[in-house]
A and B are shown apart, each in its own frame.
Chain A
Amino acid sequence: MAQVLHGRGPVTATATTTRKRRPFLLDLYSTAVGKKYAMAITGIGLMGFVLFHMIGNLKMYFGASDLDHYAEFLKKLLYPLAPKGTVLWILRGGLIAMAVIHIHAAISLTRLNRTARPVRYQSERDYQVANFASRSMRWTGVTVFLFLVWHLLDLTFGVTNTVGADGEFIRANVYDNVVRSLDRWPVAAFYILANIALGIHLFHGVWSLFQSMGWNNPRFNKWRQAFATGFATVVVVGNVSFPIAVLAGVVGG
C-alpha cells in the first residue's frame, strides 16, 4: 500500500498542454469526459434500437403474417433502390459498432474508477442519493449483454431454439420461433429478468446521458429523470408483455 505524496510541481501560471494531437475523435475519446460522450452517444443509438425493436415486436399481437411480414419489410428497407438486406446490414453494423464502443468505454472507465480509489473506505459508506440503478449499472449492463448473446442464439441462429414441425429452424418464421421459444417457462423467466435489468439500466443511463452530453437547462432539468423513467417503463412493459402473452396463450395459443 505504498502511497506517494505529490510534490510541489513547477508553477507556471499558464495553461500549457504537452499532449500529442491525435485525430479529433481519438483525442476526444482519450479522456474520461470524452469517453462519457461516447457512452452517451452510443447509448442514444442503442435506446433507439430497443425502442423500435419493442415496437416491431408488437406486431405479434396482430398474428403470424403481420410479424413475419414486418421481418420481411426490414430486409427490404429501401428496396429496390438498395439490394435486399443492404440497409439492414448497415443498421446492424452501426449497432454492433455502438455496442462495442459502449462496452469498451464502460470497461475502461470502470478500470479508471477502480484505480482512482485503490484503498477502499474501511468503514461502511452511507450513500445519500446514489440509487440501486446507478450503483448496479455494470451488473445490469453485463446481464443485458449476456441476454443479447443468448437471444441471438435463440431467435436468429436457432441454436437454443426447439426445431419446428418440419424438423429444422426456419429463421423467416419469426412468429413460430418466438412462440416455441417463449412457451418454455424458464426461457420466459430469463427473458423477463433480463428486461427488468434493461429497465434498471435505462432508468439511470437515460438520465445520465443528459449530464454527459452537457444538456442541462433549468427549463427542462426536472423532465430528465421523468423522461428516463417513462422511456424505461415503455420499453420494459412492451418487452415483458411478449413472454407473458405467449405463456397465457394470447399469442400463438
Chain B
Amino acid sequence: MSNHLKDITLKIWRQSGPNDAGHFESYKVDEISDEASFLEMLDYLNERLINEGQEAIVFDHDCREGICGTCSLMINGQAHGPERATASCQLHMRKFKSGDSITIEPWRARAFPIVKDLMVDRSAFDRIIESGGFITSPTGGAPDANLIPIPKPVSDAAMDAAQCIGCGACVAACPNGAANLFTSAKIAHLNLLPQGQAERFRRVEAMVETMDEYFGSCTNHGECEAACPKEISIDVIALANADYRKAKIKNRKQLARN
C-alpha cells in the first residue's frame, strides 16, 4: 500500500544566475507519496511554486531512468543522495522518513559553474571527450560479428568502464574536485579494447592534459567510487595512470622518429 510522507523540509540552493551569490531557501512539502522519485517530489514542489506565482526551482533531468547522467544533485552532502549505485532520479522518497529535513545543493567545482539554482554547466567533460578524438575503424560493409576476438575478462572490464554516464558525481564527491574517475573510465573503456589501440597513447596524453586544465588532482580518497551511480571502480584510475606513464614514453619515441 502506498504510504504518504508528511512534513518533508527541503533546504534548496537558489541562485538566479552564474554571478549571483546564491543562498539556501526552505520549502515544506506535505503529503508526498513514498513511491515518488526524488525528482518527482521536486516537480510536485515546482507545480506548487508556479501556482503560487513563484519561480520554479531549476534542476537538470532527462531520462529519469538512471542512464543519461543529466540529474546532478548533492543531497544531504552526498552526490546523488544516500543510496549507493543510484542516480538522483532513481532515488525514491521511501528512502526518507516523515519529518526529515533534506538539503539539496548543486555540484560544486570550478569546472562546473552554476547556471541557475541546481543546474551546472558540465561542458568541461565535453572538452575532455573531444580531446580524446576518434578511433580508427574500417568503413564499408558491416563487419561480421565477433570478427575481432576479445577475451571475455577484457571485454567485461571495458564494459564496466563504459558504463560511465558522465554525470559528474565523481567530481562533485571528490574533496579535491578531481575528474580522474570520469576521465579514467573513458580512457579505460577504449584502451582495453583492440579497437582503441591505434590511438591509445595519444588519447591518454591528450585527455589527461585536458583534464588538468579544469580539475583538481586525485589523492585516492575513494569518494568518487562511492558516489558513482554506476559503481565504476577506482581501478580504472590506476589503469589510466599506468597508460599515461607509458604514453609519455611511447609518444616521445614516435615523435623522435618523425
Contact = CB atoms under 8 A, between A and B. Distances in A.
A8 B123 contact: yes
Interface string A68-88: 000000000000000000000
Given A9-B127, A32-B217, A212-B241, A14 B133 contact: yes
A208 to B, nearest CB: 4
Contact of B235 (A16, A112, A221): A221
Interface residues of B, number: 74
Given A4-B18, A129-B221, A130-B175, A121 B74 contact: yes
A120 B108 contact: yes
B113 interface: yes
Contacts of B57: none
Given A15-B207, A128-B173, 17 more contacts: A3-B18, A5-B18, A15-B132, A33-B240, A33-B244, A112-B216, A113-B219, A116-B215, A118-B110, A121-B105, A122-B13, A123-B74, A125-B175, A204-B220, A210-B238, A214-B241, A214-B243
A1 interface: yes
Interface of B: 11, 13, 18-19, 21-22, 24, 74, 76-78, 82, 103, 105, 108-111, 113-115, 121, 123-124, 127, 130-134, 173, 175-178, 180, 199, 202-203, 205-209, 211-212, 214-223, 225-227, 234-235, 237-245, 248-249, 252, 255
B252 A116 contact: no
Contacts of B219: 109, 113, 134, 137, 208
Interface residues of A, number: 61
B254 to A, nearest CB: 12
A119 B220 CA distance: 22
- Residue from the set A4, A16, A113 with the largest chain B CB neighbour count within 10 Å: A113
Given A121-B108, A134-B220, A15 B234 contact: no
B50 to A, nearest CB: 26
Contacts of B217: 32-33, 35-36, 109, 112-113
Contacts of B241: 33, 36-37, 211-214
Interface of A: 1-6, 8-9, 11-17, 19, 21, 24, 27-28, 31-37, 109, 112-113, 115-130, 134-135, 137, 204, 207-208, 210-216, 218, 221
Contacts of B108: 117, 119-121
A29 B132 CA distance: 21
